[in-house]
Amino acid sequence: MFKVDPRKLVGPAMALVLFVFAIRLLLNEAGKVSREEFVHGLTSVQPAYLFIAAFLIALNYGLLACYDLLALRYVRRVLPLRRVLLVSFLGYSLGNNLGTLIAAAPIRYRFYHRWGLTHTQIVALVSVLGLTFWSGVCVLGGVALTLAPVELPEKYALPFGTRTLGIILLSISVFYGLVCAFWHKPWPIGKLHLRPPSLGLATVQASVAAVDLLISATALYLVMPGNAVVPFPMVLAAYLVAIVISLISQVPGGLGVLELILWTLLKDTVGQPVLASVLIFRILYYLLPLFVGMIVLVAHEIYSGAVEARTDAKFEADHPLGVSDPELPTPTSMEDA
């Protein structure tokens, strides 16, 4: 009699839970802006700019695979590029909307553990992913806020100005570079002992993350209303501040944070359409990748489950008494699925 291993239900169950969260998120986002406001914001953007913004976002999601590639290099593991692209896209398309703990970390743990990484390696890999992102925030945010400081809404006001925040971020990036250059002993973090990456790897980390953030901010800038004069440094600074605050406050995707900050900064020059512009950006950068990521995740889990079921059925047919042939390898899951 064919029996189903309960462990094989983990993937489909996780996909179903994430799908429910995604649907709720889509419904909440749709109710924030009226249909008239959205149509006005959409029609005020030139089609060429809208197309370029969509292209940049697609390019950006491909670039995000570099985060995982750098983290795999740190833990000294090599995986086929197709696998890295898969887990990276799923991790970021779902994690950007649902949060790291709910989506990104479980997805990476499930896939990387299936592909042979140990628990310690996965924890180190996830830590390096975060370190890569924050190194880019410190470099790009430090430069942007030092040269183009912005005034935050009262709700998110800091005890110091954003130019001071920029100087702090630059100081952190310099300190991180010095640590990578001169400190070679491992740091005990719980049961882990992580060594700082080499200065060369740290430089590549900051560069990749800075380009990632710059592309995202450019896409946001392109969907701003065409009749508004909005300086790009202001949009870049506002976007970086919103990202930092949303990460600190653990608000998935910066929901509400980005809208409020951009509204406060641009209401005199853009006005109400800025909310529609942010929604357009959210649809392109967050919701469409989320929708595609859910389809890919569900399809992959269904296909992998079918392949594993066929493999188990064939193995049981070849060994009806349940006794393994010592000369034959024990069947494993189809990792290439």
DSSP, residue by residue, 59-106: HHHHHTHHHHHHHHHHTT----HHHHHHHHHHHHHHHHHH-IIIIIHH
Given a contact cutoff of 8 angstroms between Cβ atoms, the answer to whether 305 and 16 are in contact is: no
Residue showing tokens 């060429």: 48
C-alpha distances (whole Å) from 180 to each of 15, 76, 143 are 38, 17, 21
Please count the helices (runs of H) and the strands (runs of E) in the chain.
13, 2
Q: What tens digit of pLDDT does each residue of 169-204 get?
A: 999 999 999 999 998 777 766 666 778 888 999 999
Q: What is the average per-residue pLDDT within 309-332? A: 57
Average pLDDT on 63-67 reads 94
**Under a CB-based contact definition with an 8 Å cutoff, are residues 90 and 114 in contact?**
no
Confidence of residue 330 (pLDDT cuts 50, 70, 90): very low
Give whole-number Cα distances, 232 to 61, 165, 214, 264, in Å. Answer: 22, 19, 11, 16
C-alpha–C-alpha distance, residues 242 and 260, integer Å: 9
pLDDT over threshold 80, residue 63: yes
User: What's the pTM value of the predicted model, to 2 decimals?
Assistant: 0.78
Average pLDDT of 306-323?
65
Please answer whether residues 111 and 103 qualify as being in contact, where contact means their C-beta atoms are separated by less than 8 angstroms.
no
Does residue 212 surpass a pLDDT of 90? yes
The predicted model gives 21-49 an average pLDDT of 63
Q: How confident is the model at residue 157, as a pLDDT?
A: 66
The pLDDT of residue 254 is above 70: no
**Separation between Cα atoms, residue 153 and residue 262, nearest integer Å:** 9
Angle between helices 288-318 and 81-98 (to 10 degrees): 130
106 pLDDT more than 60: yes
Residue that wins the pLDDT comparison between 299 and 228:
299
Query: Residue 34: its pLDDT value, please?
Result: 60
Most confident of 43-47, 225-229, 270-274, 285-289: 285-289
Distance in Å from the first CA to the final CA of the chain = 25
Confidence of residue 64 (pLDDT cuts 50, 70, 90): very high
Per-range mean pLDDT, top range of 26-30, 226-230, 275-279: 275-279
Report d(CA 278, CA 280) in Å as an integer.
5
pLDDT given at position 3: 47
| CA distance linking residue 212 with residue 140, whole number of Å | 10
pLDDT at 161: 79
Give residue-wise pLDDT tens across range 236-245. Answer: 887 887 777 7
Q: Of 61-75, 116-130, 226-240, 308-322, give the lowest mean pLDDT range.
A: 308-322
Residues 7-25: tens digit of each pLDDT:
545 555 555 555 565 556 5
Q: What is the pLDDT of residue 282?
A: 84
